[in-house]
Amino acid sequence: MDFPKNGIVSYGDYFPEAREILYHIYSYPSLMPYYSNITNKFPGGLYEYVRIVSLCDERPFEHEFFLRIDQSFPCMEILHLTNHKSQNRKQSHGSNNDNQNLSLIEYPLLSDLHIVNAHDDYIEQFLFHTKTYLRNNIHLYIDYASLQRVTHN
């Protein structure tokens, strides 16, 4: 195949706990409406046509990773997140001083957020206004017990 105006992007990731390798190879810019199984190794880029994104990893996602996702997928409408690892550089929601150096992440078109299969830190990441801004009328798919733990309610 000839890709005179397009580039080829590839990256791989090894999951030691599952003993699996995940490899992405695709033309860039991509015209696909979805991007699945994004890990911390995601190189970034602009994906204007992608509406559905899924994130998964055995290593924690930090705030900077979500900022990269926000910048790469400006038209994202549906987000699925799977990650059971606690964030390493977690800022407390109670302390605004800890969060002053964080850029607020906005997902203006996000309508469905699936964080059922994730550590409580990611619920904080998306629901606390010091880290992420979500529009009104979003469908939230979340474990009720996790939501109670995170919100102390």
Provide mean pLDDT across the span 18-23: 93
Residue 149 has pLDDT above 90, yes or no: yes
To the question of pTM greater than 0.85 for the whole model, the response is: yes
| Separation CA 1–CA 6 (nearest Å) | 11
Least-confidence region, from 16-20, 26-30, 51-55: 26-30
Residue 34 has pLDDT above 60, yes or no: yes
| Separation CA 74–CA 12 (nearest Å) | 24
Residue 15 has pLDDT above 90, yes or no: yes
pLDDT in the model for residue 93: 47
| Separation CA 42–CA 26 (nearest Å) | 12
Residue 76 has pLDDT above 70, yes or no: yes
CA distances from 66 to 42, 62, 72, 103, 133 (A): 11, 7, 10, 10, 12
In 3-state terms, what secondary structure has residue 151?
Answer: helix
Residue 28 has pLDDT above 70, yes or no: yes
pLDDT in the model for residue 69: 97
**How much of the chain, in percent, has pLDDT values that exceed 90?**
74
